């Protein structure tokens, strides 16, 4: 835990303030992630699944962070974009504002992005070196392929990161804002896809799941704890 905290801390450029331990979840409290855009909130969980299988891997490689994704100095951050990759509100708007106008210029040269797919650009003024743009599904009741499309968005981002040898990636909660995907279900799909991918691949080495509100943070950590305590087979979609 200490070894991991120190190396991950170095990678993100953060300072560790203190550690609080719970039976099934370890929570670390962090100081500023980026000196110029320090988030007001910013604590992270190191997930420790309740079953022996996968404990070491997941504990070392997935972190839950509460705050603004645009402040993170992971090698890549993921954008929850639209099919036109033309910018918008929510996390998309925040990423474009923080990256500056050159991001939109590059996005416009990419010819859009189908739902469930992913494309990569530079990060420009962001602390992250690059941005992986993906498009999650718009929630239409759950019988229009939304679950698979959301899983595919996570998978394709991770595949793209792997292809480009990206060591650390931060994800927002794709589709859970303007696109209306029910959060608890989206959190489970996200965590299951990420942990499944990391089980099979050494790259990316680290994944940060970003929650933008206290409520999302508690719901996410609860969902993960439940998945960890369930039979390992339930981690499959």
List residues binding ligand APR (CB under 6 A).
68-70, 80-82, 88-94, 136, 172-179, 210, 212
Catalytic residue list contains 231: no
Here the tokens at position 54 are 């996968």
CA-CA distance, 155 to 190, in Å (whole number)? 9
CA-CA distance, 110 to 205, in Å (whole number)? 27
Nearer to ligand APR, 48 or 173 (CB): 173
Contact of 131 with 99, CB cutoff 8 Å: yes
Nearer to ligand APR, 50 or 180 (CB): 180
Nearer to ligand APR, 123 or 177 (CB): 177
Catalytic residue among 92, 184, 216, 231: 92
CA-CA distance, 176 to 210, in Å (whole number)? 12
**Least distance in Å: CB of 12 to ligand APR?**
15
Q: Specify whether the backbone of 66 is left (phi greater than 0), alpha (psi in -120 to 50) or beta.
A: beta
CA-CA distance, 108 to 88, in Å (whole number)? 13
End-to-end CA distance of the chain: 29
**Least distance in Å: CB of 84 to ligand APR?**
8
Nearer to ligand APR, 197 or 220 (CB): 220
Catalytic residue IDs: 92
């Amino acid at each position: 835990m200490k070894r991991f905290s120190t190396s991950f801390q170095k990678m993100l450029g953060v300072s560790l303030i203190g550690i609080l331990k719970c039976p099934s979840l370890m929570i670390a409290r962090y100081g500023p992630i980026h000196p110029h855009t320090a988030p007001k909130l910013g604590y992270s969980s190191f997930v420790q699944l309740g079953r022996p299988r996968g404990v070491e891997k997941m504990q070392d490689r997935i972190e839950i962070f509460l705050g603004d994704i645009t402040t993170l100095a992971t090698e890549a951050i993921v954008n929850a974009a639209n099919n036109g990759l033309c910018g918008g509100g929510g996390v998309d708007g925040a990423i474009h504002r923080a990256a500056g106008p050159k991001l939109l210029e590059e996005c416009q040269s990419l010819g859009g992005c189908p739902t469930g797919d992913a494309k990569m650009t530079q990060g420009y003024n962001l602390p992250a070196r690059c941005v992986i743009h993906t498009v999650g599904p718009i929630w239409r009741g759950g019988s229009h392929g939304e679950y698979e499309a959301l899983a595919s968005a996570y998978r394709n981002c991770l595949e793209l990161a792997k292809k480009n040898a990206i060591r650390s990636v931060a994800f927002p909660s794709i589709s859970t804002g303007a696109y209306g995907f029910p959060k608890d279900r989206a959190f489970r799909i996200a965590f299951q896809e990420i942990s499944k991918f990391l089980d099979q691949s050494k790259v990316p080495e680290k994944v940060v799941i970003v929650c933008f509100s206290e409520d999302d943070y508690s719901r996410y950590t609860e969902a993960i704890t439940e998945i960890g305590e369930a039979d390992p087979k339930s981690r499959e979609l």
